[in-house]
Amino acid sequence: MNILLLGSGGREHAIAWALAKSKRCDHLFVSPGNGGTEALATNLPDIDITDGQAVLSAARAHDIDMVVIGPEVPLVAGVADVVRDAGILVFGPDKQNAQLEGSKSYAKAFMHEHNLPTADGKTFTDEALAVQYVKDVGAPIVVKADGLAAGKGVVVAQTAQEAIDAVHNCFEGGFGNAGYRVVIEECLTGPECSLLAFVTGGKAFCMTTAQDHKRALDGDLGLNTGGMGVYSPVPIVRDDELASMQRIMADAAAATAKPPFEHDYRGVLYGGFMLTPKGPKLLEFNVRFGDPETQVILPRLKTDLVDVMEAVAKGRPEDINLEWENNWAVCVVLTSKGYPQKYQTGKVIHGLDKVGAMDNVIVFHAGTAHNAQGELVTDGGRVLDVVGLGATFDEARQLAYKACESIDFEGKTYRHDIGAKAAAGRQSWK
């Protein structure tokens, strides 16, 4: 099978790594790809992956059997619709289903309609009304830009003024068109947990749990980022909480196969949960693999990913049977100094050969490229995702950090406390 994977981040390198392991993958193409995917696949850097016709032309030119869409932007743009309508298998939901991530107000209405537990809140298109609501309700409170904001459009405001500033930022274009509609929610308390599922034919096949670290600095301080580290599974999740999250994902998947949806959902549905004292509640949906959650989930998947994706794309839930490794995975993200704000690129990366010789360590490239001299250099805010695998949580965590110490580039930064709360137990969130 010839496969075209769309995307360029650490998530896509992890997906490419898993696909390339399959004996069923004859030729793998990645567009645009990065410095890591080019070791596994043929990078196609010149395709506009948000243009359905451009993707379809590339798929036909390279005799592609299945297109796998990594990022959310092409999904929201309807790329899956164009390629699927042409008769090529697509792993990724259609444009209508993609609104579950493309619009937070849309997702909120979906949650309420189908009785999926979530935070109370309201949606605003008028800044003055939104500000008045904040003043009436008070803080802490959560302000969300409605549209896509690369994981940075959410502010958990501890004061009313902080919330008002966030509202103003949205309506003043701080997130472009994504912020001209704002969702304001109650602030839930508890640890967060992600549960992703392969969804097809109205059925959800849940993956293993994962927990991301969004803040830039140790101690969950600093600005929100796309993710600074993650681990899987999440040891603090109780059996009853996991069962509840799985039921919620099953209910959500079933709802996507009914009107008003014209087509059933075929791809990954990501449920972001808060483990509140009243049980798990949905914070958000994403319509694709998480980044960096994918980097700890797929290394633990025993089942052939090509088989799973083909079954999803064909709408054949009966062909899916997920099996998982009995191990732990911890990922630490190495970033460029200044991320998530202004940062420099083009810094030469050293030490990957040494890390490559380490057992049970995988390095996924998130933002890398080769310079004119052929050297691997930084090419993004998030540069490398360093994954340690172990029989225990501590073993995996220690391996990941040992590998991080062996990699070097000018301006290298990373959090030193990924997984620290989990190691300390549930009481560390109180």
Indicate where the chain has its CATH 3.30.1490.20 domain(s): 126-180
pLDDT (0 to 100) of residue 194:
97
190-319: what fold? D-amino Acid Aminotransferase; Chain A, domain 1 (3.30.470)
Indicate where the chain has its CATH 3.30.470.20 domain(s): 190-319
- List own/partner pairs for 132-138 with CB under 8 A and 24 or more apart: 133/184, 134/160, 134/163, 134/164, 134/167, 134/184, 135/160, 135/164, 137/184, 137/186
Please, which residues have CB within 8 angstroms of residue 79's CB and are 6 or more apart in sequence? Answer: 6, 49, 50, 51, 52, 55, 69, 92
pLDDT per residue, tens digit, the chain (430 aa), is 999 999 999 999 999 999 999 999 999 999 999 999 999 999 999 999 999 999 999 999 999 999 999 999 999 999 999 999 999 999 999 999 999 999 999 999 999 999 999 999 899 999 999 999 999 999 999 999 988 877 678 888 999 999 999 999 999 888 877 678 899 999 999 999 999 999 999 999 999 999 999 999 999 999 889 999 999 999 999 999 999 999 999 999 999 999 989 999 999 999 999 999 999 999 999 999 999 999 999 999 999 999 999 999 999 999 999 999 999 999 999 999 999 999 999 999 999 999 999 999 999 999 999 999 999 999 999 999 999 999 999 999 999 999 999 999 999 999 999 999 887 776 666 5
2-95: what fold? Rossmann fold (3.40.50)
DSSP-based three-state secondary structure for 412: strand
Give dist(CA 163, CA 165) in Å, integer. 5
Give dist(CA 214, CA 212) in Å, integer. 6
Indicate where the chain has its CATH 3.40.50.20 domain(s): 2-95
pTM value is: 0.94
328-429: what fold? Glycinamide Ribonucleotide Synthetase; Chain A, domain 4 (3.90.600)
What order do you get walking across the sheet with 66-69 strand by strand? 42-43, 27-32, 2-7, 66-69, 89-91
What are the tens digits of pLDDT across the range 94-124? 999 999 999 999 999 999 999 999 999 899 9
Question: What's the count of helices (H) and strands (E) in the chain, helices before strands?
Answer: 14, 23
The overall longest dimension of the chain from CA atoms, in Å, is: 60
- Determine the length of the chain: 430
Bridge partners, residue 192, by sequence: 274
User: Phi/psi zone of residue 169: left (φ > 0), alpha (ψ -120 to 50 degrees), beta?
Assistant: alpha
Nearest-Å Rg of the Cα atoms of the chain is 21
Indicate where the chain has its CATH 3.90.600.10 domain(s): 328-429
**Residue 104, φ and ψ in degrees, nearest 5:** -65, -30
126-180: what fold? Dna Ligase; domain 1 (3.30.1490)
